[in-house]
Amino acid sequence: MPQRDLVAELRSGRTPAPAELRERVRLIAAADASPRPRLARLTVRRALAVAVPVAAAVAAATIVLTRPGGHPAAPHVEAFRAATAAPSAELAPGATTLALREPDARAVARAARRAQAIVVSLSGYATSVEVRGARGRLVLHVPPANAPQALARLRSLGTVTRSPGAPSQTIELRLSAER
């Protein structure tokens, strides 16, 4: 076969993407509905130039404030600590818990990312995401009207081990790996 015919045959071959893959990519892309941020030029060096002095200041403040035998912290320091503490991931009353099992730790991380993409695509957001190795816990909020659809799509991310009854706008998603 002449090379021209060979190239023509190679070009004629089609590899259409399956519908399921299209849906998966659509969900991933839904997490980035906004245009490109102007911080695109932020380099590692620039980030370090800001982060290193800030980290040093925080470390110095921590040493001073937690020095044993030192003076008790002033009220305004306590207020500052309370205000800058990690946000609480407490669940609102009426929240529902969905527990899923994944094949391994990598699948847990993947399911956590997809779960966030799902709620974002349904006009929701994640208030808390904790993924450590084989376990993950996410607190997700969706508009009440989208809650049933969110639950249905979240269920498809793994093997359901605990399913909530009625859908709620606050969903606690627990992920665990089999191994």
The residue range among 23-31, 74-82, 126-134, 135-143 that interacts with other proteins, by the rule CB under 8 A, is: 23-31
The candidate with the shortest Cα–Cα distance to 95, out of 165, 44, 148, 168, is 168
Contact 45, 134 (CB under 8 A): no
Contact 160, 96 (CB under 8 A): no
The 106-145 contact track toward other proteins, x by CB under 8 A, reads ----x--x--------------------------------
- Considering the rule CB under 8 A, would residue 88 count as an interface residue with other proteins? no
Instruction: Give the tokens for residue 25.
Output: 């990519």
Residues in the interface with other proteins (CB under 8 A) total 35
Near other proteins in 30-49, by CB under 8 A: 30-37, 39-40, 42
Query: Which residues are CB-neighbours of 70 under 8 A, at least 6 positions away?
Result: 64
- Considering the rule CB under 8 A, would residue 10 count as an interface residue with other proteins? yes
Query: Shortest Cβ distance from residue 6 to other proteins (Å)?
Result: 6
Contact 99, 136 (CB under 8 A): no
Instruction: Give the tokens for residue 82.
Output: 């309370």
Near other proteins in 150-169, by CB under 8 A: none
The candidate with the shortest Cα–Cα distance to 116, out of 23, 58, 31, is 31
Where does this chain bind other proteins (CB under 8 A)?
A: 1, 3, 6-7, 9-18, 20-22, 24-26, 28-37, 39-40, 42, 110, 113
